[in-house]
Amino acid sequence: MQNKKSNFSEWYTEITKEAKLCDLRYNVKGFVIFMPWSVTSMKKMYNIYEAEMERTGHKPAWFPALIPESNFHKESKHVEGFTPEVFWVERAGDNKLEERLAMRPTSETAMYQMYSLWIQGKSDLPLKIYHPSQVWRYETKATRPFIRSREFYWIESHDAFATEAEARAQVQEDMEMATNVIFGEFGVPFLFFERPQWDKFPGAVSTYAADCLMPDGRVLQLPSTHLLGQNFAKPFDVKFLNEKGESEYCWQTCYGPCISRIYAAIISTHGDDSGLVLPYSLAPIQAIVVPIMRKGSEEAVEKAAREVVSLLAKSGIRAEVDFSPNTPGFKYNEWEMKGVPFRIEVGGREAESGIFTVVRRDIRAKAQVKKEELATWLSHEGARMLDDMKKKAQASFDSRLAKADSMEALSAELEKGKIVAVPFCTMEKAGEACADAVKEKCAANVRGTRYGKHERAHGKCIACGKDAAAIAYIARQY
């Protein structure tokens, strides 16, 4: 394997190929085949995230993939923001369609016309629906498996409320869901930023987005949540009758955790120079049993290996035995590269004694575990493994946060692969010129102000020299 720290790009390319996570040979540019090992984990990610959605009162729905072009034009900023990225369907068989249909780049314009039919009175509110789906965007930047492609897999929720306060509370809940799942269950640390006004979701009042930090020092955006205000309710006529019998426009939010992109963050955050390191709950195989055959013990070893798999399966642990003709050392490397959390070694001595050597993937610690205690031990140690992965990832993330008070100091910190806090003139539209200057001089982007942490502005804007009104965070991005 390539060295992850010094050669992340090649490491990432190699691991996605060697672990058989995807295949890039599909003959439509920018479209990727996601293979069984990655899809098995992503299905588990979907299950965890959807359970969190339902815990917070969201209900599932499936909406069509095709959206009439006229729907896009109902919200001017939205159509301006998304039209360049849309794949259009113009024919059905030999017939030219009367109206072009967009392959869904996001679902606001598909769902809100239905919300106008479903919401009549206040008793219909709040309406909280999530939609697991694929979306398609004609990305013009370089595509990269899981990180950026032209077809990706996500969940989007679209919520409608009677009041602005309820909508703002939903934005907060969306961020809490991200923390509970992405860090709590997957072990990926991040920061939420309120995006500057020039970089918000098209049609939103405010955008809040989670940025994680990849090993090469670039940030990757994970979920974003958007306060839409009444900007979509008005053109789509999403209204309700209040207690006085008066018609009011709803207040809306939307939220989009991208499962395939979060998977990229898991690969990159936890992997090492030997390959993947997967959280116990997400691993397609949680324990691989490796038989060590020596002459005269083959039958006993095979029997013991099969018994271990059967025993673990009864406790709901995903285990398999590797009976391939490869050497034990080859098998160790193969399953380490694929990120299986635990390896159970079964030789003649283990078959006879019923005590097995178990190796933990992330720290390669070995333990001797009795057969009857294996299931309980693995479940307990799997939870410990996630805790240790979280601590390690958070410590690394925290060590790469920095401050600067000049363009030169900013550039120096960015070269070290850090997210950098700087004094900045404003996050309003007027600050975009300064953001452009940062991008030109440092090849980096203003990510926004840190959400949930009050930071008093001080000093002068690093770009224009005016008194700073905000502490902005800047990083290079994917």
Sorted by where each begins, the domain ranges of the chain are 8-270, 287-381, 401-477
Phi, psi of 164 (to 5 degrees): -65, -40
Q: Which amino acid is at 239?
A: K
Q: What sign for the dihedral angle of Cα 465, 466, 467, 471?
A: negative
For the chain, the distance separating the N- and C-terminal CA atoms, rounded to the nearest angstrom, is: 23
Measure the CA–CA gap between 27 and 40, rounded to whole angstroms: 24
CA 346 to chain centre: 37
Instruction: Name the CATH topology of 287-381.
Output: Rossmann fold (3.40.50)
Work out the number of other CB atoms within 10 angstroms of the CB of residue 334: 18
Which tokens is 403 given? 């401050």
Which residue ranges of the chain lie beneath pLDDT 70? Answer: 76
Alpha carbon separation from 474 to 218, 357, 391, 423 (Å, rounded): 10, 47, 24, 10
Instruction: Say whether domain 8-270 belongs to CATH 1.10.10.350.
Output: no
Count how many residues are written for the chain.
478
Q: Which residue reads 């050669």 in tokens?
A: 7
What confidence score (pLDDT) does residue 110 get? 92
Decide which of 3.60.10.10, 3.40.50.740, 3.30.110.30, 3.30.70.3170 is the CATH code for 401-477. Answer: 3.30.110.30
Q: Which residues of 425-454 are buried (b: 16+ CB within 10 A; e: fewer)?
A: bbbeeebbebbeebeeebebbbbbbbbeee
